[in-house]
Structure 1
């Protein structure tokens, strides 16, 4: 039996990207919500709620990006020049918010600057991720195994709309995280923001579900051709179910249910992207097999990944277990 190594590696990288989106998404969402909570005490609690886990969440970004470079070098060499600007903006945003975590607690006079760096960095990083995703979904032209597009091809109405939608989606993850982790007035206001963000996220998912299939004939055939058209029924029903669970959790003040339902929405959205993309890794130019590294490299890297990924999963799970439960407003992890 032949093992399809490119397919296995595509699944591993897809998992790493999904893990990054759902984990770093909520702490970026906390930063996006910062302007809506002007009180210093609330901001202290919000940052403390993600302080133990935010840097570990970004491990998955390194795994996804590094894995793409090592395992699908042709895809990496094609995607990077197509998305230089949004990717650089994302990294700068992540750097500024990371520095803000360390320096905000060490000053009083300049605290507002680090508040701005945390909120602004979170917004820039999220918006840039959305633009990069939108540019990737709309397709990257490739000729002779190199990027054949222009410098500004990534900037389109579709990619800008995707960036705005991701801001709303991460705000949903951030607000439901605060509902789960905080108490009192802060949690009550987070529920209000979670409701608004949930409605915005559902609307955005509906808009992009109708918009995306008409970007490329391959997407249209995938979503409306048999037998894959069945996903056009199943996925929306699951999305509606997660949305209803989220609303029910917010109304019944069930602290963890809204966050889990929001994660479900993101997982379904990610699955929808995967259904549209497959078997392409650079839509609609390169398949996973065309972009894959030599088989020897795939085998060598897979051995290391089999050892490494369980370790990452273990310490990630342990960190969340140690810092489970509600935040004590009078204590912090800084």
Structure 2
């Protein structure tokens, strides 16, 4: 039955997916930042995301804030279980933001801020993947409270998820830079699309296989006698997107590989949602159990109905205003 709890579940899922794909490509630019061979090339790489990077992080605030407001039980358990990686991710994002601003003003220590930008971007990506992996492998809950240890989030599977997300973000970053840059730097990013695409598809396959090993409930959902056959649309769609991506890359398309890479992220997210639904905290607490009363969800929905169109509007307007290639000497100063 579709109700307010389900609506908020969908809204938060959409916000998190929007964050992953939008902030994903600018984190990817940070991961690829050392490949800039001069200050001028690195300036252009950074200027390609300067108008949009902070707006992209709005979706993380919306997802986290929505989880706190709509599903406070899930928020309290997950924040306790993932306290260390959450704090680490936030510090990495702060370092990245500070490096972004200081780099353009620094003279003697510019190279250090370059590495801070790369380090903050890479660490944030790794920890985001680690948190996804920790959620998939399950969270220990007793009496509606977290009952695990300080380092339960750290495992070979969660680290695999962290590396997979770094690879995927790097692919998005390379595809974005092909759209926004020209010259030799654009050509180098084009050459990265194919190997990064292969690495991302391999990472999706490894994480999918690992998920079946670490979570019995998910394995039963996909492979058991009661398997929901429609779920297999997701891996089929992923394979078709992978083929289309390689055809677009080899045809030297500019925008299409980026859109298809976003599609790969969407398919991976759909696989994650299909594996975990209806649990916010697998394998014990569903989103309905974690939800606030309907009267609270309805009140929150009024604010969301006002804010979401505003966020979508200024995001679309920002991308439209700053469309086109970033030339040498243009951009943020």
Shorter chain as normaliser: what TM range? over 0.9
Q: Specify the alignment match of 1:170 in structure 2.
A: 169
User: Is residue 160–residue 207 contact of structure 2 (8 Å, CA) maintained in 1?
Assistant: no
Deviations 1:34-70 (A, max 9, x none): 1222321111000000000000000000000011011
In structure 1, C-alpha distance between the alignment counterparts of 2:248 and 2:61, rounded to whole Å: 33
Q: What secondary structure is seen at the aligned counterpart in 1 of 2:108?
A: coil
Mean alpha-carbon deviation: is it higher for 33-42 or for 298-307? 33-42
CA offset at residue 113 of structure 1? 1.3
User: Is residue 241–residue 260 contact of structure 2 (8 Å, CA) maintained in 1?
Assistant: yes
In structure 1, C-alpha distance between the alignment counterparts of 2:324 and 2:197, rounded to whole Å: 23
In structure 1, C-alpha distance between the alignment counterparts of 2:66 and 2:188, rounded to whole Å: 40
Q: Specify the alignment match of 1:229 in structure 2.
A: 229
In structure 2, C-alpha distance between the alignment counterparts of 1:230 and 1:298, rounded to whole Å: 30
CA offset at residue 249 of structure 1? 2.0
Judged with a 3 Å threshold, the aligned counterparts in structure 2 of structure 1 residues 109 and 316 are, in CA distance, closer, same or farther, namely same
Q: CA RMSD in A?
A: 1.2
User: Is residue 222–residue 275 contact of structure 1 (8 Å, CA) maintained in 2?
Assistant: no
In structure 1, C-alpha distance between the alignment counterparts of 2:7 and 2:108, rounded to whole Å: 52
CA offset at residue 24 of structure 1? 0.1
User: Is residue 222–residue 229 contact of structure 1 (8 Å, CA) maintained in 2?
Assistant: no
Q: Specify the alignment match of 2:125 in structure 1.
A: 126
User: Is residue 127–residue 164 contact of structure 1 (8 Å, CA) maintained in 2?
Assistant: yes
User: Is residue 30–residue 121 contact of structure 2 (8 Å, CA) maintained in 1?
Assistant: yes
Equivalent residues in 2 for 1:250-269 (5 A)? 250-269=249-268
Q: What secondary structure is seen at the aligned counterpart in 1 of 2:280?
A: strand
Could you tell me the TM-score, scaled by structure 2's length? Answer: 0.97
1:272 aligns with 2:253: no
Q: Which runs of 4+ in 1 moved over 3 A?
A: none
Q: What secondary structure is seen at the aligned counterpart in 2 of 1:320?
A: helix
CA offset at residue 224 of structure 1? 2.4
Where does structure 2 lack aligned partners over 5 or more consecutive residues?
none
CA offset at residue 227 of structure 1? 5.2
Q: Specify the alignment match of 1:212 in structure 2.
A: 211
User: Is residue 131–residue 159 contact of structure 1 (8 Å, CA) maintained in 2?
Assistant: yes
In structure 1, C-alpha distance between the alignment counterparts of 2:203 and 2:27, rounded to whole Å: 19
CA offset at residue 229 of structure 1? 3.0
Q: Specify the alignment match of 2:13 in structure 1.
A: 14
Where does structure 1 lack aligned partners over 5 or more consecutive residues?
none
CA offset at residue 252 of structure 1? 1.8
In structure 1, C-alpha distance between the alignment counterparts of 2:45 and 2:239, rounded to whole Å: 29
Q: Specify the alignment match of 2:112 in structure 1.
A: 113
